[in-house]
Amino acid sequence: MIGRAMSQQITAQIESVGLTPPPHGAPVEESLTERQRREREYYEEYSRVNAPKEICFDAVNGFERRPWNPYWFLCETVAAKLGSGHQKLLDFGCGPGIYSLLFARIGFHVSGFDISPNNIAIAEQLAAKYGLSEQTDFKIGAGERLEFDDETFDVVVGVDILHHVDIEHSVRECLRVLKPGGCAIFKEPIEVPVFDPVRDSAFGRWLVPKDRSLEKHITEDERKLTNHDLQTIRKLGARMTVKRFRLFSRLDAFNKKLATSGQASPIEKFDERVFQLLPFMKAFGGDIVIALTKS
């Protein structure tokens, strides 16, 4: 359990940046695994340092398309699922609610959950700021056991979350809460031949450390998905498609100006062309978007 002093410290820090503190007792989850506790503690700290102040809605406003970018591709795929009527979307591991608000803006009613109480407080604050509180609801929770009824949602979305959780249990839960014909869409990093074996070697870790880091957004337990993970997901019975991204554009990570400007990357567009001309190169794409359609 989180001690009283730490709980008071979290509340004080949340209040200091103008956010609503989480409900009394919310940070205390007796049923969390050790891994979940470490993730929660990391994101409590990370969210205090990196809380978003503004949200850019460009990826869903329809004025521009970037199908070669995995995040924009995910947003465009989700937007295409929006039909008439009251459609419900689950933001699986919503963090501070950025994607929740993007999808609420275009018409979904969005439920989001996250293991970090501070993230939930930030998401609620941002929803109020952008006038989207009526179209969103947020709660504290863990991906391996969702507190939603069967067949509740038309769409489930997860952005960079599966590599933080127990994949099989979490995807089973996503499929459980999906309506028949509903779709779960995830953007994830994935291991690739040559690059990741070198990256994970002693030399690679010495050259570019992978230790827990708030600056680099690395948690203690996260790991990229593998082809074995994809096989595990495929066996769960949903119709599955996978699209690959980021071959040479992984180098964009070293361009801080590009990473923070929101500008389109010309290398990402080049990557898509390479994948079209040389399909075997898709195996080296370091990001994927997975779409699962429930029968």
Report the distance separating Cα 1 and Cα 40, nearest Å: 12
Residue 29: what pLDDT? Answer: 53
Report the distance separating Cα 244 and Cα 40, nearest Å: 30
Residue 2: what pLDDT? Answer: 35
**Beta-carbon count within 10 A of 31 CB:** 7
Report the distance separating Cα 219 and Cα 234, nearest Å: 26
Length of the chain measured in residues: 295
pLDDT in tens, 200-252: 888 878 887 788 888 888 899 999 999 999 999 999 999 999 999 999 998 88
Q: What residues have CB less than 8 Å from 9, skipping those under 6 apart?
A: none
Q: Average the pLDDT over 115-119 and give the result.
A: 97
Delineate the domains of the chain, giving CATH numbers in brackets.
Answer: 4-293 (3.40.50.150)
Residue 139's beta-bridge partner residues? 113
Report the distance separating Cα 114 and Cα 90, nearest Å: 11
For residue 288, which amino acid is it?
I
Contact predicate 60/106, CB 8 Å: yes
- What band does 115 get if pLDDT is binned at 50, 70 and 90? very high
As a whole-number percent, the residues of the chain with pLDDT over 90 amount to: 74
pLDDT higher at 86 or 188: 188
Report the distance separating Cα 277 and Cα 260, nearest Å: 30
As a whole-number percent, the residues of the chain with pLDDT over 70 amount to: 87
Q: Average the pLDDT over 77-82 and give the result.
A: 95
- What band does 65 get if pLDDT is binned at 50, 70 and 90? very high
Contact predicate 164/222, CB 8 Å: yes
- What band does 258 get if pLDDT is binned at 50, 70 and 90? low
Instruction: Identify the H or E element spanning 111.
Output: strand 109-114
Residue 8: what pLDDT? Answer: 38
Residue 22: what pLDDT? Answer: 39
Assess whether pLDDT exceeds 60 at residue 6: no
pTM: 0.86
Q: Average the pLDDT over 118-126 and give the result.
A: 97
Reduced to 3 states (helix: H, G, I; strand: E, B; else coil), residue 155 is strand
Burial of 230 (0-12, 13-18, 19+ CB in 10 A): middle
Q: How far is CA 26 from the centre of its chain?
A: 22
